Amino acid sequence: MWDFATDPEFQTELDWIDAFVREEVEPLDYVFETPYDLSDKAMVAATKPLMQRVKDRGLWACHLGPDLGGQGFGQLKLALMNELLGRSHFAPRVFGCQAPDSGNGEILAHYGTDEQKAKWLQPLLNGEIVSCFSMTEPQGGADPTQFRTTAIKDGDEWVINGYKWFSSNARYATFMIVQVVTDPNVSAYHGQSMFVVPANTPGVKILRNVAVGEPDAQGSHAHIHYDNVRVPADHLLGGPGQGFAIAQTRLGGGRIHHAMRTVAQVRKAFDMMCERALSRTTKGELLGAKQMTQEKVADSWVQIEMFRLLVLRTAWKIDKEKDYMKVRKDIAAVKVAMPDVYHDVVRRAMQLHGSMGVSNDLPFAGMMLGAMSLGLADGPSEVHKITIARQVLREYKAGDEIFPSGHIPTLRDRALVKLAEFIDHDMAEV
């Protein structure tokens, strides 16, 4: 069943989330640097009561099932929630669904042992710690066929060696989930595994933290050297060789969440654009009265609505199919469209705000860089375009005649034969 309406009961929750994020959570963005630094006592003190209110409302960690303290919401409901949470950098953490912790929590929930869940998942769900996802590498980005970081079994331990790049949140993490090569003799898709690596393990060396577009910021995306890092055998997630499959399970839903949070950011830029169009006068009339401004508004609205519906339909299909791989093409399409819509709308909003639009007084410059980042995060857009094309072409077959299937003279001849009894003989010869 397909329905564009949200059930009234859940809409009540969405209305509460909308007001709560705007009034209580968004102010945090302008005072504190990051929601992940748990050593910032003032930030922790400010967010803790907000997190409790979310828990009391029954909206904490809704991506996880009731057995783990969540609501077990499907992707469609999560998408609608993230559309509101995406306005604030702090909102996902206040609701217990921040990246990369949400994805790491899903990995632990699905593939972790009881001991792993007790040691790492439960504190993560309680908001007591934060985590890191350590997958991409300097020489190959997110291409698993280029990974060189290895884990070799040595008695009751695994020894990890190699370099990881842009490991999200490593600076603040209590543990990393690391994807490594465990069997170089088979394909990358079957020869890699995942491990939980506590951040204080000897040999875990953060070489530097990288910030995105903030030259003076300390950053939290790390270049890490795993130098003879030893972890017990029971730190393996799932089984040997399951690393790629685990990663795909994690990334599928995450891309939808990223997309809806992007809708929130794009809407913020769009709202500012429209406000500007009705507030600024130049050459004797409002910006909004000028046709080129109206074109910017119209183009932006159309792009946002089309993208939002694509995301929601994809979320609905995931809920319906219960298998990310069956919706792989749609997820890839969302990933490809996301940075383009973000970039286009923000660029127009920036243009209408003139010199202030490119300054640090407004968020557009950071948004533009965010759009570029989304074109790379969770795999570059080019890779996802290839996925789309391959999936689409599997639905077709090659023509077996000399002329294409749309060849009009051939189609006309066939139609004349089919409709011969209705057509005058003389007309058929025309």
Summarize pLDDT for 233-251 with one digit per residue, the tens.
999 999 899 998 888 777 6
Can you tell me the mean pLDDT for 133-139? 93
Average pLDDT, rounded, for the chain: 91
Residue pair 337/310 in contact (Cβ under 8 Å)? The answer is: yes
Cis peptide before 198 (omega within 30 of 0): no
DSSP calls for 127-156: TS--EEEE--BTTTBT-GGG---EEEEETT
**pLDDT score, position 217:** 57
Per-residue pLDDT reduced to its tens digit, 381-425? 998 999 999 999 999 999 999 999 999 999 999 999 999 988 876
Say if residue 430's pLDDT is above 60. Answer: no
- 8-state DSSP, 241: T
Stretch(es) of the chain classified as CATH 1.20.140.10 = 245-393
Per-residue pLDDT reduced to its tens digit, 159-176? 999 999 999 899 999 999
Stretch(es) of the chain classified as CATH 1.10.540.10 = 8-112
CATH classification of 131-237 is 3.40.640.10, yes or no?
no
**pTM of this structure:** 0.87
Select 8-112's CATH number: 2.30.110.10, 1.10.540.10, 3.90.1520.10, 1.10.1740.10: 1.10.540.10
Say if residue 427's pLDDT is above 60. Answer: no
Report the residue count for the chain: 430
Per-residue pLDDT reduced to its tens digit, 35-67? 999 999 999 999 999 999 999 999 998 988 887
Q: Which CATH class is domain 245-393?
A: mainly alpha
Stretch(es) of the chain classified as CATH 2.40.110.10 = 131-237
